[in-house]
A and B are shown apart, each in its own frame.
Chain A
């Protein structure tokens, strides 16, 4: 089984995110970045499947794929340290400002170039943009069934089976491979790289591809090709300092009074 895991390099959630005033895009260079934590669950899911499949990790490969700036190589490195076999990094000046549609186009072409994997795994959403639409778009572009938001995942022969927890029901979804599966943060506990893993990662193959390597025209991605446009952005004014009371036996009563005055009761 060949598994491709799509991983994203994102700004640190604790950092203050801002926009580039020049073109209204997210400022990704001014802040520290890392492998999106939600994609660690996808890497872990891929590694677990490879380990469990017949032939183990010797015959079942996990390739991680990222589209992003030079520093996104750090995300690949971490995934290789966790145990992934190989990395592919698509990097090109022209990619800056790409929207979800363009990102999915680049990912789709890269997946094709890697070869036809049996399974494509993604996280549930990026921790920065967090649209949660790239998996669906990628599945559409590749003509694959989408089996999304897995809280549990098994592969049985040529069939993938997941559990998805919805509002009204918990459902089992089944599809034939090849398929695209996105996983939630409920699915597993991502492993930490071991010392052995860190050493081994140094020898693992990483390919860096440009748009031209994928046969993509620079004009088909990036800010100019985006299908949506940010017209303006404003920093949300800090919330006015609220009233804070210390409970001295009547905190609940004061709380109820606040609710009554503001007509919530």
Chain B
């Protein structure tokens, strides 16, 4: 069976959940091979084996962490030549998409981004499902040239643990000087919030202009549910919440089990980032707010009254 390369999404060896989802998808298409680039390989091995990686390609050099995208695309291009995989999967993050874009040109292969599902089609073709036009349409697509390169959105499938051999492969790759053109010269780590990562979270609670700058009720409600906190662009532009928490077209696209929008009107650009959520709840003072068109459950009311009451009830229910 052909290999399927999965580019491991990790932070210093801490493997992200999306990697486990991609390993699960890879098994539908062939034999998963994990490609680990950067520092921290030892910490990652066990979990990659637990989720079915048959082979493990490790490229553990600090070099990769200092340069942007291009060296990783070169590594993958060389593996595509040597391993002739059935497909290459990576996360639909800005970096994942950029690596995929470069790889696509290098290997003259078709690229599909933002897949929410990937299946083996007839004759081994890889068939993807995407949600387009702000969630208005669902599209099925295939790659017609080269090795299918697919970026997969987080939360697309439930990861399934299956033990894999994770046999380490010794492969020599060369990185050109040209790929080292863009260098990271400074790094200011972001303080951890202790909350789940937005794109991976099962529940996201977001606040908008309706918070008037006070996110405390949003955060307390989120914490009662173990949720991540998001924000609309209006809230971000006002400086109330960091840009990295923005949900929408120019922020993050999330697809959690539950999305709660409080004090958010539901502009098309915001919808683009949350419309594929499984269950949607809104709290808004204005019963005409467009967000109510999307909801499974909505409360017309003041978020400063509704959320604290709900938080208390949730905390009580948890016991």
Task: Please report A residues at the B interface, Cβ cutoff 8 Å.
Answer: 13-14, 16-17, 19, 38, 99-101, 104, 124-125, 127, 130-137, 139-141, 143-149, 151, 161, 165-176, 179, 184-186, 226-236, 239, 242-247, 250-260, 262, 264-265
Q: How far is the CA of A257 from the CA of B106 in the complex (A)?
A: 54
The answer to whether A232 and B140 touch across the interface, beta carbons within 8 angstroms, is yes
Chain A residue numbers with a CB within 8 Å of B187 are: 169-172
Q: How far is the CA of A174 from the CA of B186 in the complex (A)?
A: 9
The answer to whether B142 and A231 touch across the interface, beta carbons within 8 angstroms, is yes
The answer to whether A227 and B298 touch across the interface, beta carbons within 8 angstroms, is no
Kindly identify which residue among B146, B186, B293 contacts A239, using a CB–CB cutoff of 8 Å. B293
Is B279 among interface residues, defined by CB-CB distance under 8 A? yes
Is B250 among interface residues, defined by CB-CB distance under 8 A? yes
| Given A173-B182, A243-B297, A264-B257: A255 touches B283 (CB 8 Å cut-off) | yes
Q: How far is the CA of A256 from the CA of B151 in the complex (A)?
A: 36
The answer to whether B243 and A101 touch across the interface, beta carbons within 8 angstroms, is no
Is B159 among interface residues, defined by CB-CB distance under 8 A? no
The answer to whether A229 and B94 touch across the interface, beta carbons within 8 angstroms, is no
Is B292 among interface residues, defined by CB-CB distance under 8 A? yes
| Given A173-B68, A265-B225: A140 touches B105 (CB 8 Å cut-off) | yes
Kindly identify which residue among B139, B305, B318 contacts A230, using a CB–CB cutoff of 8 Å. B139
Chain A residue numbers with a CB within 8 Å of B257 are: 264
The answer to whether B292 and A244 touch across the interface, beta carbons within 8 angstroms, is yes
The answer to whether B297 and A242 touch across the interface, beta carbons within 8 angstroms, is yes
The answer to whether B310 and A256 touch across the interface, beta carbons within 8 angstroms, is yes
| Given A252-B308, A264-B225: A145 touches B105 (CB 8 Å cut-off) | no
Distance in Å: Cβ of B77 to nearest Cβ of chain A: 10
The answer to whether A243 and B296 touch across the interface, beta carbons within 8 angstroms, is yes
The answer to whether B250 and A137 touch across the interface, beta carbons within 8 angstroms, is no
Most central of A131, A133, A230, A243 by chain B CB within 10 Å = A133
The answer to whether B300 and A171 touch across the interface, beta carbons within 8 angstroms, is no
Chain B residue numbers with a CB within 8 Å of A101 are: 104-105, 110-111
Chain A residue numbers with a CB within 8 Å of B318 are: 265
The answer to whether A174 and B97 touch across the interface, beta carbons within 8 angstroms, is no
The answer to whether A131 and B139 touch across the interface, beta carbons within 8 angstroms, is no
Q: How far is the CA of A256 from the CA of B295 in the complex (A)?
A: 15
The answer to whether A16 and B250 touch across the interface, beta carbons within 8 angstroms, is no
Is B8 among interface residues, defined by CB-CB distance under 8 A? no
The answer to whether A130 and B249 touch across the interface, beta carbons within 8 angstroms, is yes
Distance in Å: Cβ of A76 to nearest Cβ of chain B: 23
Kindly identify which residue among A131, A168, A227, A228 contacts B97, using a CB–CB cutoff of 8 Å. A131
Nearest B residue (CB) for A17: B133
Distance in Å: Cβ of A146 to nearest Cβ of chain B: 6
The answer to whether B141 and A247 touch across the interface, beta carbons within 8 angstroms, is no
Distance in Å: Cβ of B40 to nearest Cβ of chain A: 13
The answer to whether A143 and B178 touch across the interface, beta carbons within 8 angstroms, is yes
Is B100 among interface residues, defined by CB-CB distance under 8 A? yes
Q: How far is the CA of A23 from the CA of B290 in the complex (A)?
A: 32
Kindly identify which residue among A124, A233, A242 contacts B298, using a CB–CB cutoff of 8 Å. A242
Chain A residue numbers with a CB within 8 Å of B244 are: 165-167
Is B131 among interface residues, defined by CB-CB distance under 8 A? yes
Contact code string B228-252 (vs A, CB < 8 Å = 1, else 0) = 0000000000000011100001100
The answer to whether A234 and B181 touch across the interface, beta carbons within 8 angstroms, is no
Q: How far is the CA of A233 from the CA of B298 in the complex (A)?
A: 30
Distance in Å: Cβ of B84 to nearest Cβ of chain A: 17
Interface pairs A-B: 3 shortest CB-CB: A252-B309, A247-B301, A145-B181
11 pairs, CB–CB < 8 Å, chain A vs chain B: A17-B137, A133-B104, A169-B189, A184-B250, A229-B144, A243-B298, A244-B299, A251-B310, A255-B297, A259-B258, A264-B203
Distance in Å: Cβ of A73 to nearest Cβ of chain B: 25
